[in-house]
Every structure is written in structure tokens, then in C-alpha cells.
Amino acid sequence: MTPVDPATVPAGSPLSVSAHELAAVRYDSTGLVPAVVQDVADGTVLMVGYMNSEALARTLRTGRSWFWSRSRQEYWCKGETSGDRQWVREVRYDCDGDALLLLVEQQGRGACHTGNRSCFYRSFGQGPVSPG
Amino acid sequence: MTPVDPATVPAGSPLSVSAHELAAVRYDSTGLVPAVVQDVADGTVLMVGYMNSEALARTLRTGRSWFWSRSRQEYWCKGETSGDRQWVREVRYDCDGDALLLLVEQQGRGACHTGNRSCFYRSFGQGPVSPG
């Protein structure tokens, strides 16, 4: 997959953040923090991705969800190849600052590359589910 | 904090799982997988913890949420010191098998040691929020 050029990505609404808030984020030894993505409309947990400080900065600046791909070792912007974009409305951070929660408007089919709306479409002992 | 003795932890309802499903879980290089904990009643994302295979096995066997503490390097069962227990109703796994989603009934004040219901009680640019 070709890395996405940030300059060509349609931007949403930027999110405000203070230096104090940004300093509260604690990245792990590989420079990453997990980001849980939740549908702002109905609360569905859509996916978990990883951000480094640059991915978080791009996310806040553009209102689009940017992640760091551990497998491909590159930045990716959710939906820029599939069209299933996420428009970020709010970013929360947890008590320890070592996890983020993005509240998004999910465009298109959903967040999962399998075509499911949520990446969490399977449940132990129950098989496929319809999260909602 | 004294490690919790699994034998003394009140059990909930065990969750069924197949060997095939368990084999789909992909642990990272440190043997951990992130587990997002969501309130089954209203969809609030309560917290993110980390599980190794033994923590996941305990969780499924007992219906209580067990995690591996990276800072303390020990197992912990949510709520066994605070009383704010989580009764696990369902465990989902994502498309890549490298993240888990626990749907729980949250007992007591909530999931966060700060006294907030959710660990994600702060929002960039907005300060404290009341997630729900």
C-alpha cells in the first residue's frame, strides 16, 4: 500500500488541545499509545489502532484519524484508501495517560477492512455478532 | 499492593470459548494483548488493560476481569481491592486478533481508581467530561 500523503487528505475540524494535555500522554517504549475508536453516535467500539506523537498531532490538526502501522511501519489515515473515513469529534485520554479514546463519526461501511462495521465482530463462544 | 490470590476471588459466570478462537488471539512481543472494557449496559468505554494468556484464561474461567499489570509485573483482578468489580458478560476479539473487547457489568463507583466511572474522564480541549 502506498503511504498516504498528508497534504492530499481531506481535513475535518481540528481539535483544540493544550500543551499541558499533550504532555499527559505517555507513550510506551516503542513510542506508541493505543487509541480506541468509538462511534460517537451509538457507542460502538469500532477498532483499536496505535498512535505515535506525530499521528496524534495529525489527528488533532486535521480531525481525521491517523495511526502508525506497526506491521508496515508507516502512517495511515483511516479510510483514505477505502473511503470509510473517520471524522474525529473528540479525543479523550485515560487516568494514566497511556490510552486514548477517539469519538468519531464513521463514514461508509464501517471501520473494519473485512467489511464489518466494527473490527470486534466476533465473540468467544458465539461466533459472529452484530455489535451496535 | 498484595497480589490477589485467584482462589479467594468470587467467581461470576464462566464464558465458553473454543481452542480455535483462543488460537486467534495474537499477543505482542511481550506476551500481552490490550483489552478494552466496555459497560454492557450503556456502552461507556471504561478502561483499557492488558492481558497475557493466563489473565485471559482466568477471565474466561471466572467471568471476572483479570489483567497483567505492566508496572507491578503481577496479575490483578479488577475490583478485588476496591470492590468495584467487573462481571464479564462477553469477550470479543478483533479482525487481527490483537485486541480484545470485554463487555462487563460494572459494579460499584466505576472502573477508575480516581473515583471516576470511566478512566477516560478527560477530553483534550475540554477538561473533565461526564462520559455516558
Structure confidence by residue, pLDDT tens digits, A21-46: 999 999 999 999 999 999 999 999 99
Q: How far apart are CA B17 and CA B91, in angstroms?
A: 9
Taking contacts as CB-CB distances below 8 angstroms, the residues of chain B near A131 are 92
CA distance B97 to chain A (A): 9
Amino acid at B122: R
pLDDT (tens digit, 9 = 90+) per residue, B1-22? Answer: 567 788 888 999 999 999 999 9
Quick check: is B128 in a domain?
no
CATH number at residue A96: 3.10.20.810
Query: What is residue A130's predicted lDDT score, i.e. its pLDDT?
Result: 67
Residue B8 domain-assigned? no
**Domain assignment present for A22:** no
Highest mean pLDDT among A5-9, A92-96, B1-5 belongs to A92-96
Kindly state whether B23 is in contact with chain A, defined as any CB-CB distance less than 8 angstroms.
no
A95, A119, A129 member nearest B94 (Cβ): A119
Total domains in chain A come to: 1
pLDDT at residue number A127: 78
Q: What would you measure as the largest C-alpha separation in chain B, in angstroms?
A: 45
DSSP string covering A20-70? HHHHT----TTS-EEEEEEETTT--EEEEEEE-HHHHHHHHHHSB-EEEET
For residue A122, the surrounding DSSP H or E stretch is strand A122-123
Which stretches does DSSP call E strand in B11-131? 33-39, 45-51, 66-69, 74-77, 86-93, 100-106, 122-123, 127-128
* Domain, as residue range, for A45: 29-128
Q: Quick: pLDDT tens for B58-85.
A: 999 999 999 999 999 999 999 998 999 9
From chain A, the residues in CB contact with B122 under 8 A are 21, 24, 92-93
> Over the Cα atoms of chain A, what is R_g?
14
What percentage of chain B reaches a pLDDT higher than 70?
A: 96
